[in-house]
Amino acid sequence: MNASTLMDLPMSRLPDAQPSLFSPAEERAMRQALDQAQNAWLAGEVPVGAVILRDDAQGIPQIVATGYNRPITTNDPTAHAEIVALRQAAELFGNYRLPECTLVVTLEPCAMCAMALMHARFKRIVFGTRDPKTGAAGSVVDLFAEPLLNHHTAVEGGCLESDCGQVLREFFAERRALQKERRGLRHAAAAAAQQRVQDEARAAAGEPFPAPSAEPFADAIPVGLAIEIEVDADIDMTPRHDEPGTPT
């Protein structure tokens, strides 16, 4: 096929044209799921969002349920974005089976969510970025391809993958920076406390105090941060290479 012949072909017939794996409705739903992920971020949760689609009477996909990560804020370890949306849809339709529904989620489902979606008989799952630590759609295990299960849900990953991964990378970068700042504040507070003990010991012994520094004394812990430091002191935010959204 020469160049002139190639130019005469319509775009749909170009030899290297690849059909999209995702429908326009699924891509629009993924953008809605990204909005849901931002809600999770604002609530202090890992930013993962989910949307459930179902065709209306005219066969046009409509959003029927949404969800975002809430395990911390609700003290519910099962409150992943997929489960939140799944519960909403099941209640809406009054049925625990949802065979006409498609779930669109920004992060590859974990084993818990994968099994819940298959129990609900979802027809299709679309996810954004892969989760190399807990992904159950091929990253760690592939429950959707398990031949011994009695229901098989179609699954496709990579929808707006870059956007979905970027949200997670920015979230974890922000958390690591905040943890580093708080760690520095804790060290400064500990040094100030130690200095006070030494000053009290000098005063009790009648020893002279050292000359004050030329630099004005800065409060070790700015007002409003002490409680936050105490609450988050046990959170491990060290950098990891297996965080969701990290390119492999």
Which pLDDT tens digit goes with each residue over 26-73? Answer: 999 999 999 999 999 999 999 999 999 999 999 999 999 999 999 999
pLDDT at 237 exceeding the cut of 60: no
Q: What is the mean pLDDT of residues 74-102?
A: 97
Q: Tens digit of pLDDT for each residue in 154-184? A: 999 999 999 999 999 999 999 998 887 777 7
- pLDDT(13) > 70: no
Characterize the bridge pairing of strands 124-129 and 61-68. Answer: unpaired
232, pLDDT greater than 50: no
Per-residue exposure over 194-226, b if at least 16 CB sit within 10 Å of its own CB, e if not: eeeeeeeeeeeeeeeeeeeeeeeeeebbeeeee
Per-residue pLDDT band for 123 (boundaries 50, 70, 90) equals very high
Catalytic residue among 45, 82, 108, 243: 82
pTM: 0.71
Annotated catalytic, 82?
A: yes
How many other C-beta atoms are found inside a 10 Å radius of the C-beta of residue 183? Answer: 13
Is the pLDDT at 15 greater than 70? The verdict is no
pLDDT at 231 (0 to 100): 40
* d(C-alpha 137, C-alpha 194), whole Å: 52
Question: For the chain, what is the largest distance between any 2 Cα atoms, rounded to a whole number of angstroms?
Answer: 99
For residue 211, name the pLDDT band (cuts at 50, 70, 90): low
